[in-house]
Amino acid sequence: MKKLPENLSPNNFEWGCATSSFQIEGGTTAGGRVATIWDDFCAQPGRIKDASDGSVACDHFHRYAGDVKLMADLGFKHYRFSIAWARVVNADNTVNMAGIDFYSRLLDELAKYDITPNATLFHWDLPSHLEGGWLNRDTAYRFADYTALVAERLGDRLPRVATLNEPWCSAFLGYDLGVFAPGHKNRESSLSVAHHLMLAHGLGIQAWRSRLSQTSLGIVLNPELCDPLTTKPEDVQAAKMAEYERNDSFLNPLFGREWPSMLLDQMGSSLSDRQAGDLAITSEPLDFIGLNYYTRSIARAPSSSEDAKRGYTFVPPDAADKTKQLTDIGWEIYPEGLKRVVNNLTQNWPLPPIWITENGAADNTPVINGSCDDDMRCSYITQHLEKMSELIAEGTDIRGYYVWSLLDNFEWAHGYSERFGVVHVDFETQVRTPKKSALMVKALLKS
């Protein structure tokens, strides 16, 4: 791609890069920040592939000014980041001004370069002291308190705010599969966890809107596109179950709809915590929806008693299958999926305007003689841009694209072993080196 298609031109389309607090900030005890479930999870042996943690990460807490300058140099005019709840709220629910001050200085720096902030309030780093975490309905009310506090202290400088990032990961990776913090394996609880997250979202929207009416408010989801392994009815059914879990569990409450009966039948016993009126809260009107897209999944009928509880077994892409191209983390490169999943969603739910809030690839190409030729990432990004441009041309209301990520960072359970940045980070020296993909994006934004 030499030139951006007209409908992706930065003159009329929002172009940015994305990060999240725990993945880049470090400084996990600085300024009175309280511990989070991810600090705790990292401290448990065997949880993180390279036994690393977020205590330093990209040291963005101290280097934010340089990082903002870097994004400005690369031509980004929009920046999606998350605010760490644990930095701005003390354990006794009072405001931590040192944390507010950090984000205030970050916003000053962004303003200096005319970069518009796009904030997410919760990107998985839940304060540990909230007893029971998302199993506890009360956490949703604490989230609303936190939201109100951010609205009051920083809100007039935040034009666009998402409540949650990818609540499916919090609920199902965190409480069913146990591969993300807090590491629980209790499938039965995950739908009520999902409910508490969506309740938090709705209460958060109410808390913010009652204080500031001009902010554009939404949520960020990672919708699933799941294809069956074969055309056998049991595989088709399995793929459907995976999509119900990942999509309908969150999109239905957002639009005031009951969960699909098949999910309720599967998980129904755990839903005693839902109260009358909850659906009206979870379906507060949205100004936008953020969608993160990386890959598709393939499912087959459950192949173990463990998976029988879920109704599907995922079939990871086979690295030996030459018909498929994989990124370094093993995810299939499937740009057509962006179109298919967005079309599925717009056909089934009355979506507000869409922002693609994350898209990118793990490409672990090293820096050699000062340059990093991450050709796979370059091609991944351009192929997805082409599909997004087609979607817009076909009438889908997509208003922005954020590449994940500005920097190589702490990739959750993979630690620092998978690199998603368009800028390389040497974690020994903290030296940042823009990769070929960053220079490609810079050239495209100029074109």
Interaction site with ligand FCB (CB under 6 A): 20, 23, 165-166, 169, 222, 292, 358, 404, 411-412, 420
Cβ-based neighbours of 13, under 8 Å, separated by 6 or more: 7, 399, 400, 401
Nearest alpha-carbon partner for 16 in 110, 95, 88: 110
| Residue 117 φ then ψ, to 5° | -80, 145
Contact 424, 408 (CB under 8 A): yes
Closer residue to ligand FCB (CB): 67 or 358:
358
**Least separation in angstroms between CB 167 and ligand FCB:** 11
CB of 180 to ligand FCB, least distance (A): 10
**CB of residue 230 to ligand FCB, shortest distance in Å:** 28
Under DSSP, the state recorded for 258 is: P
**Least distance to ligand FCB from the beta carbon of 155, Å?**
23
Structure token digits, residue 164: 């949650």
First CA to last CA distance, the chain: 11
116-122 and 78-82 as β-strands: parallel, antiparallel, unpaired?
A: parallel
Longest distance between any two alpha carbons in the chain, whole Å? 62
Alpha carbons within 13 A on the beta-carbon side of 386 = 10
- Between CA 87 and CA 240, with CA 288 as vertex, the angle to 5 degrees is 100
DSSP code string of 398-442: EEEEEEE-SB----GGGTTSS---SEEE-TTT--EEE-HHHHHHH
In this complex, which beta carbon is closest to ligand FCB, that of residue 168 or of residue 278?
168
- CB nearer to ligand FCB: pick between 20 and 139: 20
SS3 90: coil
Q: Which two tokens stand for residue 338?
A: 């962006």
Nearer to ligand FCB, 48 or 229 (CB): 48
CB of 405 vs ligand FCB, minimal distance in Å: 7
Catalytically annotated residue among 14, 109, 358, 411: 358
Is 166 marked active-site? yes
We find the least distance from the C-beta atom of residue 416 to ligand FCB, in angstroms, to be: 12
Instruction: Look at the chain and count its residues.
Output: 447
**Angstrom distance (rounded) from CA 361 to CA 405:** 9
Nearer to ligand FCB, 169 or 299 (CB): 169
Cβ proximity to ligand FCB: between 189 and 357 the closer is 357
Cβ 123 to ligand FCB shortest distance, Å: 6
Helix (H) and strand (E) counts for the chain? 17, 13
Would strands 423-425 and 398-404 be described as parallel, antiparallel, or unpaired? unpaired
Least Å distance, CB 438 to ligand FCB, is 17
Q: Which of 166, 224, 284, 411 is catalytic?
A: 166
Is 284 a known active-site residue?
no
Alpha-carbon separation of residue 328 from 154, 175, 242, 252, 364 (angstroms): 38, 26, 24, 34, 7
When the beta carbons of 165 and 249 are compared against ligand FCB, the nearer one is: 165
> Do 163 and 122 contact (CB within 8 A), yes or no?
yes
List of E strands, 260-337: 288-292, 297-300, 313-314
**Cα 377 from Cα 37, distance rounded (Å):** 31
Query: In the complex with ligand FCB, which residue's Cβ is closer, 166 or 408?
Result: 166
C-alpha span between 262 and 218 (Å, rounded) = 27
**Closest distance of CB 408 from ligand FCB, Å:** 11
> Among residues 165 and 252, whose Cβ is nearest to ligand FCB?
165
Q: Round the CA-based radius of gyration of the chain to a whole number and report it.
A: 21
Amino acid letter for position 280:
A
The catalytic residues are: 166, 358
